[in-house]
Amino acid sequence: MRKYLALIKGGFLEGIAYKENFLTGLLANFVQVVVFYYVWKSIFLYHTEINGYTWEIMKKYVIVSFLCNSTFSFGFEMQTANSIISGNIITDLLKPLSYRSLTFFKAVGTAGMEFLITFLWCGTFLVMCNGMQNIEVWRVLLLLFSILLGMGIKFNIQYIFSMFCFYTDNAYGVVKGREVLTNFCSGALVPLALFPGFLQKIVTVMPFSGIVYIPCSIFDGIFCWQKCWEALLFQSVWNVILFAFGSILWKKASSVIALYGG
Amino acid sequence: MPMESIAVKNLYKKYKISQRQEGFAGMVKYLFHPQYKEKEAVKGISFSIQQGECVAFLGANGAGKSTTIKMLTGIMKPTEGKISVMGNDPFRERLINAGKIGVVFGQKTQLWWDIPVKDSFELLHSIYEIPDNVYEENLNLFKKILELEEFIDQPARKLSLGQRVRADIAAALLHDPPVLFLDEPTIGLDVAVKQKVYQFLQYINKEKKTTILLTSHDLKDMEWLCRRLIILEKGEILFDDEITKIFDNYPEAETLEEIIIELFNGNTKK
């Protein structure tokens, strides 16, 4: 147990070492959320309702989707890829810890700090432009729980994609591909409920929806009480599946590690 | 009777190297039908090392030294053959093996780049689950001998090469591993630091009975540290005996390269 806490602390310290990075990222994200906010606002000037979404709901969706999407988003695939190419991955493999635990707990340390700060300012932003109306305590609690599960999904997906980096030299393509796929299918850009019929059916059963769409829908009131629990179950099941898949991939990928030179 | 700490039997490692033909046509062809050539980096070597021995692994660039070290540390899967390090198969039992070995790669660092060296050590303290008294004792000892005090509060990226290697060696030994692997630990170091590192290794070998296996290009440097020498060339063992014997066999040779050339010529004639 102590080793995992130490890794979380290490990730946290590393996060602080890169605080400028994080702060500029935060600023860029802030601009993005404001743009989204006003784009939707102007759309809702001409429609009172789109597929069950009113401006009141959409407001919450935009802000919370941002909260879900921006934490744990650093994408450690790039780190993994770089360390494979530079050969530095061997120092990670020499630790008496599985590579997954190592990356996971380090990531938790970094993400913990990110999440806390993003949560605070997203909350402030929401209260500022929405007030406290229509916010229920149980939905907030379920939201936090759901975000946690969503982060698990996100981590597992990133872990799986970072395994692909063992096979390809072009990690940038893999990472970008994953990012686009996640952004599009998770509901970070547009709520999945607004997708056309057949596409909507596909994306809602994919694990990506657990990252943004589910937590948001729990919070903004689109899901009823029962649907909330089903959604949490859905997230949990995907966590288990992706975890198992990641384990299998690691078995395969770790034996192709060929570190030339040195 | 001394215990066997490393046993290697018939170890093979083949790499797949992609073959791409020149020009645009070659690129397109590669895209649809990639071709690979197999390269044997290590060709069936066997040796065994007793607990407490200090062995030098010598060879020119590309001789297979690093590949062998990487297989011994469990990072890389051998194509064929058997390895046992302190009774464990390094690749299959990587996590168990990792707790029993210390590794230093002269060209890489296991210190966290952006946090102070002291914090990196603290992390290793937890990751390896080192008992507090052992950790304190080792840290104080290493601080003294390797003179870590002057830079222990700085992040690894700010250290000079000599400082970084000293910190890395300390990091690899904090958990009192019975086996220590060093892959070109003194590459690029000046004579004074090199001397300090070798003296420290000798001390560790003597006091803690740590088995040491280190690679280098430099024969002269290791003469007084290691008693046994293994020479690798093109993935095969050319020489495995006491270090003094190599000079008896080749009294006129000045450098390792000369000896290797002679050994290799002798090998192909047979």
Q: With cut-offs at 50, 70 and 90, classify the pLDDT of residue A258.
A: low
* B121: contact with A, CB 8 A cutoff: no
Chain B hits for A18, Cβ within 8 Å: 114
Q: Do β-strands B236-242 and B228-233 pair in parallel, antiparallel, or remain unpaired?
A: antiparallel
Contact flag A258-B108 (C-beta cutoff 8 Å): no
* CA separation for the pair A71, A152 (Å, rounded): 12
Residue B2 has pLDDT above 70, yes or no: no
Chain A hits for B119, Cβ within 8 Å: 10, 13
Chain A hits for B125, Cβ within 8 Å: 6
Residue A176 has pLDDT above 60, yes or no: yes
Record the pTM: 0.83
Residue A83 has pLDDT above 70, yes or no: yes
* CA separation for the pair A144, A188 (Å, rounded): 17
Position B270 scores a pLDDT of 43
Residue B78 CB contacts under 8 Å (≥ 6 apart), including other chains? B11, B12, B13, B71, B91
Q: With cut-offs at 50, 70 and 90, classify the pLDDT of residue A262.
A: very low
Position B81 scores a pLDDT of 92
Domain residue extents for chain A: 2-254
Chain A hits for B114, Cβ within 8 Å: 13-14, 17-18
* CA separation for the pair B170, B44 (Å, rounded): 33
Residue A84 has pLDDT above 80, yes or no: no
Structure confidence by residue, pLDDT tens digits, A11-36: 888 777 777 777 887 788 788 888 98
Position A17 scores a pLDDT of 76
Contact flag B77-A257 (C-beta cutoff 8 Å): yes
SS3 (DSSP) at A179: helix
CA geometry: angle A251, A253, A259, nearest 5 deg: 125
Position B84 scores a pLDDT of 93
Q: What is the mean pLDDT of residues B49-53?
A: 92
Candidates A10, A93, A262; nearest CB to B123: A10
Q: With cut-offs at 50, 70 and 90, classify the pLDDT of residue B140.
A: very high
Return phi, psi of residue B256, to 5°. -60, -40
Candidates A13, A90, A96; nearest CB to B128: A96
Residue B153 has pLDDT above 70, yes or no: yes
Rg of chain B (C-alpha set)? 20
Residue A195 CB contacts under 8 Å (≥ 6 apart), including other chains? A203
Q: How far is B251 from chain A (nearest CA, A)?
A: 31
Of all residues in chain A, the one with the smallest CA distance to B215 is A262
Position A1 scores a pLDDT of 78
Residue whose pair of structure tokens reads 């062809």 in the numeric block:
B29
Structure confidence by residue, pLDDT tens digits, A202-221: 999 999 999 999 999 998 88
Position B269 scores a pLDDT of 45
Q: With cut-offs at 50, 70 and 90, classify the pLDDT of residue A197.
A: confident
Chain B hits for A259, Cβ within 8 Å: 70, 75-76
* B158: contact with A, CB 8 A cutoff: no
* CA separation for the pair A125, A31 (Å, rounded): 13
Q: With cut-offs at 50, 70 and 90, classify the pLDDT of residue A56.
A: confident
* B122: contact with A, CB 8 A cutoff: yes
Residue A133 has pLDDT above 80, yes or no: no
Q: Rounded to a whole number, what is the largest CA-CA distance in chain B?
A: 65
Contact flag A91-B108 (C-beta cutoff 8 Å): yes
The overall average pLDDT reported for chain B is 85
Q: What is the mean pLDDT of residues A135-146?
A: 88
Structure confidence by residue, pLDDT tens digits, B221-249: 677 788 898 988 888 888 888 877 877 77
Residue A91 has pLDDT above 90, yes or no: no
Between the two ends of chain B, the Cα-to-Cα distance in Å is 36
More confident residue, B60 or A7: A7
